[in-house]
Amino acid sequence: MPEQIPEPVVRAVEYTVNCVPDDGYHFEIRVQHRGKGRYAVTRHGHSCLGADGTWDRGVKEYDRGDAWLNAHRLDLDTALNLAKKAAPHVTVNGYTVADALAMQQKRRERDG
């Protein structure tokens, strides 16, 4: 009798939120599934956005207690909304989203 192989499950587990979509990797925020319908909002794997809208260092569950996890593991809609609110305020090495967009525009104008 042939072995029955189950059908693979495909699931979206990560979303990228970014106000600088062209070459703006450094400005991106990620919403990542962490199990049990809970998501983390992260920046470069080392900062995590809490439900109160503030960033905190550390993203690993084994580093944190239940209270921290409950404040930093969110349902998908809340996580995406918080990421969208935070995205326009991301700065990288002193450059704002507006600075990055202006540099992209100058490059497009220069390169025709």
| pLDDT at position 62 | 62
- State the Cα–Cα distance between residues 84 and 77, nearest whole angstrom: 11
| pLDDT at position 65 | 81
* Backbone torsions φ then ψ of 108, nearest 5 degrees: -65, -40
State in Å, rounded, how far the first CA of the chain is from the last one: 64
| pLDDT at position 60 | 63
| pLDDT at position 45 | 82
CB 97 within 8 A of CB 65: no
| pLDDT at position 52 | 95
pLDDT digits (tens, 9 = 90+) for 17-56: 999 987 778 999 999 999 999 999 999 888 999 999 999 9
Can you read off the two tokens belonging to residue 52?
């109160």
- Among residues 40, 41, 29, 11, which one has the least CA distance to residue 90? 29
Mean pLDDT, the chain, whole residue set? 90
| pLDDT at position 59 | 60
For residue 87, pLDDT over 70 is answered with yes
Backbone angle region of 23, left / alpha / beta, with phi > 0 → left and psi within -120 to 50 → alpha = left
Per DSSP, helices labelled H in the chain are 66-72, 76-86, 97-111
pTM for this one?
0.84
